[in-house]
Amino acid sequence: MKRRPAPTFALAALVFGAAAACAADEALPNAETILDRYVEVTGGKAAYQKRKSEITTGTLEFAGPGLKGTLTRYAADPDKTYSAMEIDGVGKVEMGAGGSVAWEKSALLGPRVKAGEERTQALRESAFNGPLLWRKLYPKVETVAVETIGGNTCYKVVLSPAEGKPETMYFLKDSGLLLKTTMLAVNQMGEIPVESSVSDYKSFEGVLVPTKVTEKAGGQEFTITIQNIQTNVQIPADRFEPPAEIKALLNK
């Protein structure tokens, strides 16, 4: 009786499986390559560097209650931001950041100065030309998987800041554009899982920007639609000054 070659086949299968696993690992591009590619496909380093200020206007709509509103955001190099949202039935919500201060003032909760990890997140998000500064904002980055989202093949990249929790970004394999971001946002109520999906990229002065952002957080879902972005416009310096109520809190 001939000896069955099963052990040989088993060994071959084991070797093949190990080789396939190694090949799969090698197929994952470095996170640095993915993030640099995003800068290139959205306009390139030179186009970003030409931008020194911007004014963004748009609308927002909440899926559940059907509330609608408007959004205006001012930003300037290197890290100044001021946003104002006017929401039907809710009122005005203002937010600002710059230097070492981040704050919020709303019709419902009043004025407050952000602290701890919430402040750190807000200051990181206020960095002008953020995609260009990923090495400064996220000292550690890693490609961890390939995932399919809505029929699209994406690279899953985990970005870890020097302070705070990591964020996960999903970049389309074919185009290099960002599709989704997930993170734990921190506010006065604690930690809240946030999922942001972006689409409808349009060019503003040579830089592609997603003009539709759908965000899910704390059981709520809302969509921001950007209507226009004006770049390199003169913004009065006092536009970024915290309101009197915030200054009073800072001076305590």
Note whether residue 8 is domain-resident.
Answer: no
How large is the average pLDDT for residues 201-211?
A: 97
pLDDT at 94: 97
> pTM, whole model, 2 decimals?
0.87
pLDDT tens-digit map of 43-70: 999 999 999 999 999 999 998 778 999 9
110 φψ region: left (φ > 0), alpha (ψ -120 to 50), beta (else): left
Note whether residue 20 is domain-resident.
Answer: no
Note whether residue 19 is domain-resident.
Answer: no
Note whether residue 217 is domain-resident.
Answer: yes
Burial of 188-212, coded b for 16+ CB within 10 Å and e otherwise, reads eeeeeeeebbbeebeebeebebbbe
What whole-number distance in Å separates Cα of residue 200 and Cα of residue 209?
8
pLDDT at 157: 98
Task: Inform me whether the pLDDT recorded for 16 exceeds 60.
Answer: no
CB 235 within 8 A of CB 73: no
pLDDT tens-digit map of 136-154: 999 999 999 999 999 999 9
Query: How many structural domains does the chain have?
Result: 1
CB 177 within 8 A of CB 163: no
Q: The domain that contains 120 carries what CATH number?
A: 2.50.20.10
What whole-number distance in Å separates Cα of residue 179 and Cα of residue 165?
20
Write out the residue range of the structural domain in which residue 80 sits. Answer: 29-250
pLDDT at 64: 79
pLDDT at 8: 44
Note whether residue 57 is domain-resident.
Answer: yes
pLDDT at 150: 94
Note whether residue 16 is domain-resident.
Answer: no
* Both structure tokens of 137: 């904002």
Q: How confident is the model at residue 190 (pLDDT cuts 50, 70, 90)?
A: confident
pLDDT tens-digit map of 78-127: 999 999 999 998 899 999 999 999 999 998 889 999 999 999 999 999 99
Q: What percent of the chain has pLDDT over 90?
A: 82
Note whether residue 5 is domain-resident.
Answer: no
Alpha carbon of residue 70 to chain centroid: 20
Task: Inform me whether the pLDDT recorded for 10 exceeds 90.
Answer: no
Note whether residue 11 is domain-resident.
Answer: no
